[in-house]
Amino acid sequence: MAFVIIFVVFLLISFLVQNRLKSKFREYSQETLVSGLTGAQVAQKMLEDHRIYDVEVVCVEGRLSDHYNPGTKTIALSEEVFHGASAAAAAVAAHETGHAVQHAQAYSMLEIRSMLVPVQNASSTILNTIFILSFLGGIIFNLFSYQTVLTIIVASYSVITLFSFITLPVEFDASKRALAWIEDNKIVTTSEQAMAKDALHWAAMTYVVGALASLTFLLYYVFQMLASD
């Protein structure tokens, strides 16, 4: 029952934060930047300003699907960001470009995060498998003892939690770089800068909620494991 309550609480918080982010993005997408630059142009200009010439800016489908892929060295911007010329588009484009700058400058936290990606993915797969087998008549407990299953869950959540908290400084740093650059280069006006900052704040909150949720579930299973000794 405790697990269900925790899950529902964080599901609700996550929904509220995501809804707030979407609302802010819609609001800050209404007014065109005084500079008139689109998200794609902002990203390209920021790359050139940092003398990064091996990263491509591409347009992808989906809403808020923007991301930087260090493997392919591509900044993928959603259509509304790629073509948009608003404070929201500029903020998101500069933020994702901030990750490319981190990559080019060998930002330590990004490198650590990248190294953990395979382990994090494996941990998520293990957890999903355990939960599926648990719901299917408790099959997992025919294969392993209860204590062993809890140990595996705690180990997996430890990796996921570590990954989540390492992600936070990576995201905050990318936003800091983005906001400083668009202000220094007069990409935005004072009022537009405030909009960009607020939009990135709510984007960052989604990662904060995710990290706190992961930590809470980890502690829950640690207590479960200790109680079962």
* Residues involved in catalysis: 96
User: How does DSSP assign 127-179, residue by residue?
Assistant: HHHHHHHHHTTTTHHHHS-HHHHHHHHHHHHHHHHHHHHHHHHHHHHHHHHHH
3-state helix/strand/coil string of 171-226: HHHHHHHHHHHHHHCCCCCHHHHHHHHHHHHHHHHHHHHHHHHHHHHHHHHHHHHH
Looking up tokens 């200009």 gives 45
How many residues in the chain? 229
**Tokens, residue 88:** 């929201």
**Tokens, residue 117:** 């990606």
Sign of CA dihedral 200, 203, 207, 212: positive
- Residue 108 CB contacts under 8 Å (≥ 6 apart), including other chains: none
